[in-house]
Each structure stands twice: as structure tokens, then as C-alpha cells.
Chains A and B, each alone.
Chain A
Amino acid sequence: MTLAPRTLFEKIWEDHVVVEEPDSPAVLYIDLHLIHEVTSPQAFEGLRRRGLRVRRPQQTVATIDHSIPTTPPEVPIADPQAARQIQQIVENCREFGIPLHGIGSPTRGIVHVIGPELGLTQPGMTIVCGDSHTSTHGAFGALAFGIGTSEVEHVLATQCLLQRKPRTCQIYVDGYLRQGVTAKDLILGLIAQIGSGGGTGYVFEYAGPAIRALSMEERMTVCNMSIEAGARAGMIAPDDTTFEYLAGRPYAPKGEAWDAAVKQWRTLPSDPDARFDHTITLDATRLEPMITYGTNPAMAIPISGVVPDPASVSDLGERQAVEKALRYMDLRPGQRLLGHPIDVVFIGSCTNGRLSDLRQAARLLKGRRVKEGVRVLVVPGSQSVKRAAEAEGLHRIFLEAGAEWRESGCSMCIAMNGDQLQPGQYAVSTSNRNFEGRQGPGGRTFLASPLTAAAAAVSGVITDPRTLLE
């Protein structure tokens, strides 16, 4: 019997369909459910109201990341609402038997940073979380996507979700990234090309030499922002890079189980003749460092480029969106972003808060000083990232340059925890969203790579990082 060639996505999908009745969505089994304090309380309340238990607490894991301050843990939480929300997840995890990497835990951190670093995220799995950046975990060849709180309740109660099969899109990235051009620039380049709704209804599979050459942390940056193009998920076929990253991680299989797992994982990549519903190609060699000028991640340009003119946009809604964005950002059509003054630099988030991101920023900040008047916040993605960075002295580079070195969390990416911009301030941020007010009401965000963020930190204006790299 010859099987029809299948994509990575189709293999995982078919392996997880519990039942699919006519005229109904598939019941999809979920291997790993990640939860955090912001999108889970109403789901637990729903369980209580119905008298339900958590079906598989041993396939569920919780952390605290969104509303937690990045000040030292001994400082009490000043915001009573945040404190109440954090207390609630502690109580919910205790009541329902869910392991919690909570306050004071050496393994606490941003949910999409700790899943991979603990080895919980593995190839071939279905992974969900009440958080749109769950697409991050697709870097391991898992099917991982964000869900709402009703669906969090569904998974808590049944370990399953009702899902319609999405379409597949291969993102083929040819060539190689040049010096000073990073995974963040690659994904911003893609989103700028296809728009913030360009991936709606699709699961992306990234492929091609530029993707194969990426480290796991870089692959996570790419998959993380798939949702900013509207894609349901982003995936990368597992390979030796994946297995080397996972080997020896606390929750990864060990011994014979590891060998069996790797053997199975090697069957996951898309078959050579597998068909995708759509294919998009991108040439990595032509990419420059990218930066956003507007209020969604698709409003991005090469760093040496100019702000586009809304008059040149034919679609009415799109034109109005660009006009509104330029008013909000106080930028003019045709304006260069290079040299634009900035007030704040944020280095962190589930997109760029991992050790390699901090190393990139440190590479540029080493022996330099943050420009006077600029606030630079460096927030590691997890407590483990924080310890690893400190072990190699990165924190000293940041502190000596005049940056703040904080506890881990989502911090100024979502500005729920007190770390935020003041109205009118400009920030270069390594996070994933430049929406109006995202980093604080009235705050203005330029999204960019850790290298570009660090270059802005030292010069006080938007700067091409390649001019500062030896």
C-alpha cells in the first residue's frame, strides 16, 4: 500500500483526530496545554460552575508571565488587580492539581520560553495555550496554536478541541541571511510582503535553506510571529538542530525512549511530493534589517527605507489604516526612519527574550553607553534565561552600558505589569506588536531585532545596526 504524500501538518493532524462527524468540526486531541494567569481564570470558573475536573492535569502546565512585575520577587505586587489575578492561578492550580512554575520558581518565565527550554515542547505534538503566540512552539515541528478562554475550558475539561482543518501554505525561504540581518528581520519581511491578514485560514510551514540554517531560538522567533500574518500556526520540520536542542532537557524523553522518539520524529517532515494549498517564496539574501513604521506588524520597511505615502495605497480601508497609523506615530509620508529619535528601548518578549537574543544585544552594547535620556529595559524571557545570561556576564554588559536588568516576564510587550511607555514616547522594541497603545496608552512602537534595538539604545536614534558591528 502506498500512502499519499503528506505534509508535516497533515501527519500531525491525522494522528490527533479523535472523531470527525459529518457536518461537524474534528475533535482534535491536545498533547500539551499551557496556561497563564490572564486567559485562564474564567475557564476554571466555568469548570466549577459545571462541576467538572481537569481531565489531564499531567498534560497541563501553568506559569505566571503577563501581569507579573519585573521588579525583584521580594517586592510586593503594587497593583491589587494583578495580585488578585496571580493569586487566582495559584489557587486554581492547587485545586485542580496542575503543576505551576510560579513566583519564586527557578523555572518560571514566559509560557512560550519555558515550554521549549524545559523540553515540554516536542516534535509531533499538538500544543495549545490561551495566547496567540503559541505558534512559537511550531519551531519544533509541533502543531501549536492560540485559543480563547472558552477553548481553554474545553481543553481543561476534555483534553480536546473542536477544530476545522486549516489549509496549508509553504513559506519557502531561499538563500541565507546576511551579516546583521536576523530571524526577526526575516519574519517582519514576510509579514510586510503578505499583510497582517495574509495567512488567515492557513498553517504555515517554513522551509528552504535559510530556515534550515536557523538555530532553534531563531526558528522560534520566526514561528512566534506567524500569527502577526494571521496564520493559525507556523511550523518547521524537525531535524538534527531540533534534536540537539531537546536532548537532555528535563521533560524530554531519556535513554531508549529518546531513541524511539527521535526515530518517530524523523518521519514527521513533509514528504517530498506533499502538496500545499499555497506557496510563498522569499529570498533571504535580499533582506535588510527591518523596522515597522505603523500600527500593525505588516507596516514594516527596510531600515534604510522611507515611510510610505497613504495616497499610493489603492484599497480604501488599507489607506485609512495607514493614514491613521501615521497620525498616531506622528510620521510623514516619505520620511526616513534612520535618525528618528527614540525614548525607550525594550529588549525581551516571547519573540526575542531568549539567550541568543540577549547575546546579540550585548554584542552591540559591550563597551558602549546607552545614549543619555534613553531608557533601556532588558527583560529575560525566563528565570532560566536570566541565570544563563548572568553566568556568562551579559547582565554586567547591560548594567555597565546603563540599561535596566529585570526579572523575567512579558513586561513591556503587553504593558500589563507596570512596565510601559508614557503617552507620545517612541520605543524600539524587540516584541511582536506595534498596535496603538500596546506598550502603554499613547506609546509609539518601532518593532525591530535585538541588534537594531541595541543600536538605537547607544545612538538614541533609529540606526542601522550594521554600522556598529565590527
Chain B
Amino acid sequence: MQPFTPITSRVVALPIDNIDTDQIIPARFLKTISKEGLGQHLFADWRYNPDGSPKPDFPLNQPWAREAHILLVGDNFGCGSSREHAPWALIDFGFRAVISTSFADIFRNNALKNGLLPVVVDTDTHRRLFDLVGANPSITLTLDLASQSLILPDGQQVHFPIDAFNKRCLLEGIDQLGYLLKQEPLIQAYEAAHPARVNTRITEV
């Protein structure tokens, strides 16, 4: 995972609550055995007509959308299915951060493990961001993870929360599996003290 560096970018806005991961990437694209190339299917059913042509008024089809790194969305983003293909597709498209008032738990975990920053803002800031982008779609926002600040076009800084562990992992590009593997002696000790509750290999079924 690459270390997370500050972003200054235009913003793609989708002012809809409860965007589920089935919309982010429909299930028919989950028959892949790879993580690659999923950006082309991002929001496929909202982005393309049934004949495969792009819908011109969908925000992701604006010519500059591929250069945008920030996605602004309604409450409870990423609800539903646990598919990690959702953050894979967002990242493959070019996004590095998503701003909302709230994220579904599994999506949030999946995003953080792939270097996609979920930024939680209060409802006033959230509304203001949609108003700003609505009034002038070419504004840019800056996200600085080290100082946990979202910087608006007028220079105002909004603090956003993130736990110390995920912040360190993102800033240093630390892979969380590496952290778990280092716990091996403790895992062994736990197993020695707690016999397995089930053996899936018995074959009397």
C-alpha cells in the first residue's frame, strides 16, 4: 500500500443517501478472480445505458471525473454487501477519498485496508460542501490526513476524525496483515490455552 499523501482535487458529488455496494459495483462483475480493472464497472447501472453507452448527465461521465480524487456522497455510504470490490473499483477509477456524514462498517474497514480514506464530516459541513460544488463544480478541496483537516476553497479548515491506528497505517503505507503476523507468539499462546471449538476436517457427515 502506498503512503497516503495530501490531496488537492476537484470533487464528484452524488447527493444520495444509503448508496449500497450493489450500486458501487453490481454483483455480475464479481465473477472475477482478480482485483484489477474494476473501475470501468464503477456505478455501472447508474453510469451506462443498457446498450453500454455512457449516460451524459451522470457525474462520473463528466470528462474531468477521471482526474478527481474526491467523491462526495450522502449518509450511510457503502451499506449492504461486504464486497471489497467496491473500494477496489473506486480506487481503480481514481478516487482516494470519500466524504460523507457516515459510512457502513464493513465498507469503512474495506476502504481503509486499501488506502481509500473515508472522511466523516458533520451535517452542516456536508450540506455546505454540496452547496459549494453545486454552485461551482470546478472548486477544489484539500485533504491532509496528517493534520486530519479538510480545507475548503476559502481556506477554512474542518477537522475530521480517524483512529490513531488507521491513520498511522495510511500515512506510512503499513499493511495490517504484517501487524497481525507479528502477533504470532501471542496467537500461539491463545491457541494453547483455548482448544479449537470445532474441527471442519472430520468427515463423518
The smallest beta-carbon distance between A86 and chain B, in angstroms, is 10
A345 contacts the other chain (Cβ, under 8 Å)?
A: no
Evaluate contact between B176 and A99: CB separation under 8 angstroms: no
Main secondary structure of the interface of B (DSSP, over half): loop
| C-alpha spacing A414/B22, complex, angstroms | 9
A298 to B27, CA, bound (A): 21
In the complex, which residues of chain A have a beta carbon less than 8 angstroms from the beta carbon of B147? none
Q: A45 to B88: give the CA distance in the assembly, Å.
A: 15
- B84 beta carbon closer than 8 Å to chain A: yes
Verify A423–B50 contact, CB threshold 8 A.
yes
Residues of A within 8 A of B114 (CB): 150
Contact (Cβ within 8 A) A317 B17:
yes
**B183 partner, pick from A19, A316, A441, beta carbons under 8 A:** A19
Contact: B16 with A321, CB < 8 Å? yes
Partner-contacting stretch, out of A54-62, A206-214, A446-454: A54-62
Query: Is the Cβ of A158 less than 8 Å from the Cβ of B180?
Result: yes
Select the stretch in B30-38, B53-61, B62-70, B152-160 that faces chain A: B30-38
Number of A-B contacts (CB under 8 A): 227
Which one, A26-34, A235-243, A335-343, A348-356, is touching chain B? A26-34
Q: Bin chain A's interface residue count.
A: 35 or more
- How long is the Cα–Cα vector from A122 to B196 in the complex, in angstroms? 12
Q: Given the complex, which residues of B lie within 8 Å of A79, measured CB to CB?
A: 31
- State in angstroms the CA–CA spacing of A228 and B106 once bound together: 12
Contact A158:B183 (CB < 8 A) given known A42-B34, A148-B84, A321-B17: yes
25 CB < 8 A contacts A-B: A15-B194, A19-B186, A23-B163, A29-B187, A32-B198, A38-B83, A42-B33, A60-B200, A84-B31, A85-B32, A99-B201, A131-B82, A148-B82, A148-B113, A151-B113, A159-B191, A160-B183, A162-B180, A197-B76, A200-B102, A317-B15, A317-B75, A318-B17, A320-B74, A441-B45
Q: Across chains A and B, which 5 residue pairs bring their CB atoms closest together, nearest first?
A: A197-B76, A317-B17, A148-B110, A41-B33, A148-B84
Query: Which residues on B are within 8 Å of A, measured CB to CB?
Result: 15-18, 20, 22-23, 26-28, 30-35, 45, 50, 74-76, 79-84, 102-106, 109-110, 113-114, 127, 163-165, 176-177, 179-181, 183-184, 186-187, 190-191, 194, 196-205
**A binding-site residues for B, Cβ under 8 Å:** 15, 18-19, 23-25, 27, 29, 31-32, 38-39, 41-42, 45-46, 50, 52, 55-61, 66-67, 79, 81-82, 84-85, 88, 98-99, 107, 118, 120, 122, 124-125, 130-132, 146-151, 153-154, 157-162, 164, 166, 196-197, 200-201, 227-228, 230, 232, 250-251, 296, 298, 315-318, 320-321, 324, 414-416, 423, 433, 435-438, 441-442
